[in-house]
Amino acid sequence: MFRYRDTRIAKCVRAMIYRTQGFLLSKPNYLIMTKKRIAIPVANNMLSEHFGHCQAFAFVDVENDIITEITTMDPPEHTPGSFPKWVAANGATDVIAGGIGSKAISFFNELGVNVFVGATVDTPQNLVTQFLTDELKLDANYCNHDDEHRHGYGHSHSH
């Protein structure tokens, strides 16, 4: 049985109506991105203060705003662009970083990975929990999104 309300167009129209009426806070089911993979550069299991100097990456899998798994992986040798390509190839949708260079941010933007910059040193689990509950404090935020600069999960900034 074909149902119009379940079509992609109907869902998009409903999403536009909710956005225009300011109902994003209620997060209707069809607006929620159900899966994310958040990469965090780490040193000694804590956020590395500089992206290019990390020892490993923690990949935090999130489904319906719940952390389902944290995997730590060693990156390839660091050369310009190698970390962003490797992180994206491992399925990251987002990166939470302390400090990161503009070239790495450009690479991530080209690869469709959101970058959140300026996080303070903490564990990957705490950082992602703060991200999901809109409590993550960032000094800077570089992204490649719509004109409103909303990032989902309540993160926003103005230019």
Tens digits of residue pLDDT in 14-44: 655 555 454 444 455 555 557 999 999 999 9
Are 38 and 96 spatial neighbours (Cβ–Cβ below 8 Å)?
A: yes
**Residues 81-110: what's their mean pLDDT?**
94
The partner residues of 35 in beta bridges, in order of sequence, read: 63
Residue 153 pLDDT exceeds 70: no
How many other CB atoms are there within 10 angstroms of residue 148's CB atom?
9
Residue 144 pLDDT exceeds 80: no
